[in-house]
Amino acid sequence: MGLHFNQEILQTASAAIGAGNTKVHVGPLEIDSSGVVVKPKFNLGIAGGSIYALAGVRDVRDGIAAETLAMYVKSYASSGKTLVEFLRQIKAQEPLPVLDDIIASLPQIASQVVETAGADIQKEDVLGVEGVVYIYVGAGVTAGVYLGWVDTSGYRMIGAEGTIATGAGLGVTLRAGMNEDKMAVRVVAYLSNVGFDIIVKYPQPQGK
């Protein structure tokens, strides 16, 4: 049986990087072709296609994070039986040199995920890996902390990003968390101009 994408997480990842339908953000309002949604956030800007230009506070249900960013973004969705295979599938779509940066950082990323969520994302016996890799060019600042409450995708994310992560001395900005049944871990990691948002699924409960 092939691995099927978790549509909710792919949509969440796409929204986070500005892919998918264009959305205009005005304070607590999120406006797109389907209508207007009120969310617990306060930001201004636009996100859609390959453009992400937003300033303000993001949805507080996902963590405490603020940003002022203007970026051109390209995303690549894929899946694989392991994390390495997932990255190789992306590289097969397009031979991106920056993927080597992620591969080189895997030991550090895996170590942080074990420390944060108690799950080994490099295990060979996982059920599968799915998600999005994104490449971005732009400027801005971002800072956030994720304290372990259940986010809008059902994961208890813990970690830091942006200048907060830099201040903590982390070479990789990362947040990770298990879902409620501890059968999957979500990992969001950023390097200088490349990042990924993935789900690793397990045959039995993992984590802390």
Q: Give the model confidence (pLDDT) of 141-179 as tens digits.
A: 888 899 999 999 899 999 988 754 444 444 568 899 999
pLDDT at 171: 55
Mean pLDDT, rounded, for 63-81: 89
Mean pLDDT, rounded, for 93-119: 86
Round the average pLDDT of the chain to a whole number and report it.
83
pLDDT at 207: 65
Report CA-CA distances (Å) from 20 to 13, 14, 15, 169: 10, 6, 7, 33
Mean pLDDT, rounded, for 65-84: 89
pLDDT at 99: 82
- Considering 28-32, 74-78, 166-170, the range whose residues carry the highest mean pLDDT is 28-32
What does the block give as tokens for 27?
């304070």
For 118, phi then psi, to 5°, come to 75, 20
pLDDT at 20: 57
- pLDDT tens per residue across span 116-150: 899 999 888 899 999 999 888 888 888 889 999 99
Q: Is 11 exposed, middle or buried (0-12, 13-18, 19+ CB in 10 A)?
A: middle
The domain locations on the chain are 7-201
- 200 contacts 124 by C-beta, under 8 angstroms: no
Query: Is 50 exceeded by the pLDDT of residue 17?
Result: no
pLDDT at 163: 55
pLDDT at 100: 83
Percent of the chain with pLDDT over 70: 85
Prediction pTM value:
0.83
Query: Is 60 exceeded by the pLDDT of residue 66?
Result: yes
pLDDT at 194: 84
Query: Is 70 exceeded by the pLDDT of residue 15?
Result: no
CB atoms within 10 A of CB 49: 14
List beta partners, residue 25. Answer: 30, 45
